[in-house]
Amino acid sequence: MVTLRRSATLATPAPVQPVRVGPLERRERKLFLAFLTPGALLAIGALFIPVFYAIQLSFYHTESFIDTPEFVGLGNYVRIFTDPRYWEAFWHGLFYAGTTVFLQVVIGIAIALLLHQEFRGRNWLRSAALAPYILPTVVVVYIWKWLLNLNHGLINVGLESIGITPIAWFSSVVGAWFSIIFVSVWYWTPFVTITFLAALQSISDDLYDAAAVDGANSWQRLLHITLPVLKPVLVVIIMLRTIFMFNKFDIVWLLTSGGPLTSTEHLPILAYQKTFDMFDIGGGTAVATSIFLFLTLLIWLYFRLFPIEEMD
Amino acid sequence: MSDHQSSPALYTPMSRRRLLRTLGAAGGATLLSATGLPRQIHAAKAPTIRIFNNETDPDTIAFLKKMATDYKAEAGATVKIETVPVMQTVTKLTTSIKAGKPYDFIIYWTNLAIQLAEEGQLAPLGEIIKEVGVDDFGPRALRKFKDDYWIYPYDYNFNYLLYRKDWFAEKGLAVPNDWNEFLEVCKALNDPKNKQYALTLPFGNGVHTNWGNTAFLWAAGVEFYDDEWNVILDSPDIKPRVVKTLEFLEKVSQYTPPGPLETSLKDMLINFSNGTSAMTSYTGRAIHTIEDRNPELADKYAIMSYPGPDGGKRAVTYGDDGFSIGKTSNTEATVDFFKWFLSTERLIDYQLTVALHYQPPQYSTYKNEKWRSNPLIQKHWETIEVMMDFMNTDKTLVGSIDFQGPQASPNHARIMTSNVIPKMYSQVLLKKMTPSQAVDAAAKEIREFTTRS
């Protein structure tokens, strides 16, 4: 209505009348504010203030949260960017995120395609496939830590019983990497599976019927119907999983704490260790801020390369 | 008019006055809670003393809870206990202060104490310690910082070696006097084919290695700082000692169960109590584990300090467990509570919760009838006598990260939490770095955080 009135005034210019706001709209605005305020306060209190505080701390030298900070400008950034340990952790993070996301997506899609088929016991299997995802991280990690324990773990006991020497999973570089990647993939693949399964169910059967009439085999249907239709979901999943895995702290910390030595140390672990173990809060928050900036840049680049709107 | 507006019970219009009143009330309540006014009003009536506790033994926690009930009945003050694992100490204590909710009484591995004292977050304990008597405390138990005491030690927490004396006897072995003898003993006891190893010793990152595998360094006379906080780990005098220790530990690691970088405190306890290893590094907690899990071993073990490289004085590592009082709005009430704790022999009761693990730093405790008559103390009196020898500076060298440099300092906590020593071991064992290179890398890291501070 308002738009029409404004269009009408274009022909005969006249002073614009202020739009009268009725009692219903005023009440709606209040209601809108009432709904918005708790969320906004929560976001400010739990997100914006801590992030701002962390960024602020990265410009200071401070030994602990109870110390008096001393302004050092970009000193902490210069220090961390010239530290080989930072770059080692950065590449570890990229390797960890890249490997785990690739495996989660490939295995997740495969399981989703399997669970999309009609077969007896499908619902039971769907529930079972999601089981890892509903367990708390700490439970998952401790189960695997126990299973992989060198001296008493079931896996090593099993290996030994068939004549294979027990493996020190957390004492070697390869073993530690295998452990964190394996547990991360085992734990997070169900997230990919459930998302793809939901997307698969939205694909119309007509498309498959038409393809079948044209003589397409199942491989061709997957390549030319399923995957193209799922592309927007795939783009979002890869982006989300990359952010999550690059920032993933709990699994790595609980399994290896970045060790042995610094072999599995990535940037979130380095940020934590600098802040809480090395009494270098400025350095730790500079590392954390650099992660934030890197991921922002990555997301921007990613959406430039894969614009979701065009896919729609 | 819509349906819901027609029903006054379901719909009450929000007037501007009502909205402002509600917002005002909510804002006021938030402000009051943020400034802690309700807490202060409450504190004026009956204080609530918040205890930070690092001791996770179930018996100790049960004792603390009972003590809280007793104190409430006697003094009317509420005591709340929060138990936090050792590795979370720094995070929890510093963030609690920053959040405006510092702890009133702290039971902890005290290497953070000096930093807290430096920041004015602790109340001095000099008066209380003088009342007890400074001379009652054993060697190195008390350390001054800024001319006062900030920690009341309750446990020497000496790390020493436990060994199977029956296996030693079977093989005709004696307590080794130097590192060559130690390696010979290890070789004689090691039998990996039958899953029996000479020694369980930690090498990986963590407090267990900083405490549980540093005594050989102290026995070799290794020091990290001179009297002016200059790093001397890689100096011409000290570096050869560190290199020698690393070379020795590399040889020792051949006689440990596979994966020494994974060895945890739990492995040390389990491997010794179930007969997987003939020796382990630990405290009296291992004896409690034996009593609980394998009581048959109770008369088949003995303890010893760590031998030096060429004989001479032996060493143990000091573990630094103590109490501190936070400088809070409750300090006065907490001091009263602590005096009550000491005067009613609660300290003795507390130490007896894990009787053989908490080694009392006060001479008077060893004469205390309640303490001496504890069944476990009586049963293991031979062990207690050796433990008392560790307090004899003529016989034993007591070393610790916390004794490095001229005085108590936050640098000690940095050496501990940055895992400089375990990393030095890992560089040699995992990365096959030469001991000399590993020492240089460690010295460089220590120099960096010492200079930064």
In this prediction, residue A310 carries a pLDDT of 62
| Helix ranges (DSSP H) in B88-138 | 89-98, 113-118, 126-132
- Write the pLDDT tens digit of every residue in A170-199: 888 999 999 999 999 999 999 999 999 999
Per CATH, domain B160-318+392-452 is 3.40.190.10? yes
Residues 6+ apart with CB under 8 A from B346: B67, B340
Task: Write down the pLDDT at residue A171.
Answer: 84
Predicted local confidence at residue B115, as pLDDT: 81
Assess: ipTM above 0.95. Answer: no
For residue B166, how far is the Cα from the chain centroid?
31
Confidence label for A153 from pLDDT (cuts 50, 70 and 90):
confident
Q: How open is the CA angle B22-B26-B32, to the nearest 5 degrees?
A: 145
Alpha-carbon distance B164 to nearest alpha carbon in chain A (angstroms): 20
Q: Which residues in chain B are closer than 8 Å to A27, comparing Cβ atoms?
A: 13-14
* Minimal CA separation from B443 to chain A, in Å: 15
CATH superfamily name and code, B41-150+321-353: Periplasmic binding protein-like II (3.40.190.10)
CA distances from B428 to B156, B237, B250, B438 (A): 30, 21, 7, 7
CA dist., res. B255 & res. B307, Å (int) = 17
Separation in Å, CA of A2 to nearest CA in chain B:
23
CATH homologous superfamily, domain A75-311 = MetI-like (1.10.3720.10)
Residues 6+ positions from B334 with CB-CB distance below 8 Å: B49, B104, B105, B123, B325, B326, B328
Q: Which chain B residue shows the shortest CA-CA distance from A170?
A: B262
Predicted pLDDT at A306: 81
Provide the pLDDT for residue B31: 53
Q: B420 Cβ partners below 8 Å, 6+ apart?
A: B442, B445, B446
Q: Domain map of chain B by residue range? A: 41-150+321-353, 160-318+392-452
CA quadruple A96, A102, A105, A110: dihedral positive or negative? negative
Cis bond leading into B435, ω under 30°?
no
What ranges do the domains of chain A cover? 75-311
Q: How many helices (H) and strands (E) does chain A have?
A: 16, 2
> Is-contact A141 B235, C-beta < 8 A?
no
Question: Which one of B101, B116, B262, B412 would you mutate to disrupt binding with A, by most A Cβ within 10 Å of its Cβ?
Answer: B262
Angle in degrees, CA B170, B173, B178, rounded to 5: 160
Question: How do residues A194-220 score in pLDDT, each as one tens digit?
Answer: 999 999 888 888 888 898 888 888 888
Q: Which residues of chain A have a CB within 8 Å of the CB of B433?
A: none
Residue B111 amino acid letter? N
Which two structure tokens, joined as six digits, stand for B394?
A: 């003529």
Instruction: Answer yes or no: pTM beyond 0.80.
Output: no
> What is the percent of chain A where pLDDT is above 70?
92
Question: Which of B261, B274, B327, B432 to probe by mutation at the A interface, max A CB count within 10 Å?
Answer: B261
CA distance B389 to B380: 15
What is the chain B residue with the closest CA to A274? B418
Tens of pLDDT, residue by residue, chain B (453 residues):
334 444 444 344 555 565 556 556 555 555 555 444 444 444 456 789 999 999 999 999 999 999 999 999 999 999 999 999 887 888 889 889 988 899 999 999 877 788 889 889 999 999 999 999 999 999 889 988 889 999 999 999 999 999 999 999 999 999 999 999 999 999 999 999 888 999 999 999 888 999 999 999 999 999 999 999 999 999 999 999 999 999 999 999 999 998 888 888 888 999 999 999 999 999 999 999 999 999 999 999 999 999 999 998 999 999 879 999 999 999 999 999 999 999 999 999 999 999 999 999 999 999 999 999 999 999 999 999 999 999 988 889 999 998 899 877 778 888 988 899 999 999 999 888 999 999 999 999 999 888 765
B383 CB contacts (<8 Å, ≥6 apart)?
A: B284, B287, B302, B303, B356
Q: At which residue do the structure tokens 């999550």 appear? A: A244
At CB < 8 Å, which residues of chain A contact B?
27, 30, 61, 63-67, 150-152, 166, 168, 170-173, 257, 259-261, 273, 276-280
* Per-residue pLDDT at B3: 41
How near does any CA of chain A get to the CA of B223, in Å? 20
Distance, CA of B252 to CA of B179 (rounded, Å): 10
Neighbours of B236 (CB within 10 A): 7
> Over the stretch A12-61, which tens digit does the pLDDT of each residue have?
556 666 666 677 788 888 888 999 999 999 999 988 998 999 999 999 99
